Amino acid sequence: MPPDIEITKVEQVAPAPDRAALVVKAEALLGDNSTEVEIAITTDLAPSVAIALLATTAKARAERDGLQPALELLAAAVVASGNAEKVRLHLLFDKGAVLPLEVPAPAAANLSKDLVAELVRDSNAGVVAPESPGLST
């Protein structure tokens, strides 16, 4: 039986030169040994793999909080996408996992409006939204 593999730290996530895959460089425990690994995830499978990996954290948080599973986002950033029709978001989760997303510009505009509306609604209800250096536009 092969030893268990546990990713302990994600070092880098970048597209392969041919853009057919995402390459994840990470530190991992292979049995009792620490090693560096490089995992290639085909581009069409990347969203499913990211959701599956992050869902594990969501389930643990749901059990802790007694809510439906949800991912806990530590920070979000907007970065240049290289395409005027898309906005690129980087979402940072615990243990350093970064999920890069490209969103059509109209969807990003709607998300922006919804975020502002939610923050205004919370402030009108007396809920003070914490300032976060990790949320940028």
pLDDT value for 57: 66
Position 108 in a domain: yes
pLDDT digits (tens, 9 = 90+) for 11-49: 888 888 888 888 888 888 888 889 898 888 887 777 677
Closest C-alpha among 113, 90, 107 to residue 13: 90
For residue 67, give the amino acid letter: L
Which ranges of the chain have pLDDT less than 70? 1-3, 47, 53-54, 57-58, 61, 67-71, 94-95, 126-137
Domain span including residue 136: 71-137
Position 134 in a domain: yes
pTM to 2 decimals? 0.47
pLDDT value for 119: 84
Position 7 in a domain: no
Whether residue 34 contacts residue 28, with contact meaning beta carbons closer than 8 Å, is answered with yes
Round to whole Å and give the CA distance between 99 and 37.
18
pLDDT value for 91: 84
Q: For the chain, give the longest Cα–Cα distance.
A: 58
Whether residue 51 contacts residue 72, with contact meaning beta carbons closer than 8 Å, is answered with no
Number of folded domains in the chain? 1
| Sheet-wide strand order for 5-15 | 5-15, 21-30, 33-42
Round to whole Å and give the CA distance between 98 and 74.
10
